[in-house]
């Protein structure tokens, strides 16, 4: 089993329940780990592995689709990855919302989601 990780990807996006979040936007940090198998454990061409540039493009596209709840966003990203990359067997994704608009709250929140191909 191989693993590719995309770490500390920063996005300006418009996710959230509140109108202010959907207008002003916020900063989100994505950490993604995908586990996958390769036939014979040998890679000759990029088509035989998970192309991390394409993986990043998939995450980036989904991050630009405004979503009210981060739980749904993590699921949407995971579903898109499983659809695009047949080799991927397991995904662990963490999305952090920097400075959420919560009164008297000083910090970040993170939603984590792990799934396996059925």
pLDDT by residue for the chain (118 residues), tens digit each? 899 999 999 999 999 998 888 889 999 999 999 999 888 878 888 888 899 999 999 999 999 999 999 999 999 999 999 999 999 999 999 999 998 888 899 999 999 999 999 8
Per residue in 29-43, pLDDT (tens digit) is 999 999 998 888 788
Q: Do the beta carbons of residue 69 and residue 18 sit within 8 Å?
A: no
Determine the pLDDT at residue 102: 84
Work out whether the CA dihedral 31, 49, 42, 35 comes out positive or negative.
Answer: positive
- Give the containing element (helix H, strand E) for 29: strand 26-36
Determine the pLDDT at residue 111: 98
Q: Tell me which residues are annotated as active site.
A: 97
- For 47, residues 6+ apart whose C-beta sits below 8 A from its C-beta are none
**Both tokens of residue 76?**
């949407």
Nearest to 62 by CA among 118, 4, 6: 6
Determine the pLDDT at residue 9: 98
CA distance 106 to 67: 23
Determine the pLDDT at residue 18: 86
CA distance 73 to 66: 9
Q: Which CATH number fits domain 2-116: 3.40.50.300, 3.20.20.140, 3.30.1130.10, 1.10.3720.10?
A: 3.30.1130.10
Q: What is the pTM of this model?
A: 0.92
CA distance 91 to 74: 10
């Amino acid at each position: 089993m191989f693993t590719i990780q995309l770490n500390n990807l920063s996005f300006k996006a418009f996710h959230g329940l509140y109108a202010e979040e959907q207008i002003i936007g916020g900063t989100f940090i994505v950490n993604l780990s995908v586990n996958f198998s390769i036939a014979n454990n040998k890679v000759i061409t990029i088509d035989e592995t998970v192309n991390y540039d394409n993986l990043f493009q998939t995450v980036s596209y989904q991050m630009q689709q405004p979503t009210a709840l981060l739980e749904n966003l993590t699921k949407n990203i995971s579903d898109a990855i499983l659809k695009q990359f047949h080799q991927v067997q397991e995904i662990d994704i963490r999305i952090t919302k920097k400075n959420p608009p919560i009164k008297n709250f000083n910090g970040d929140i993170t939603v984590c989601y792990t799934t396996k191909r059925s």
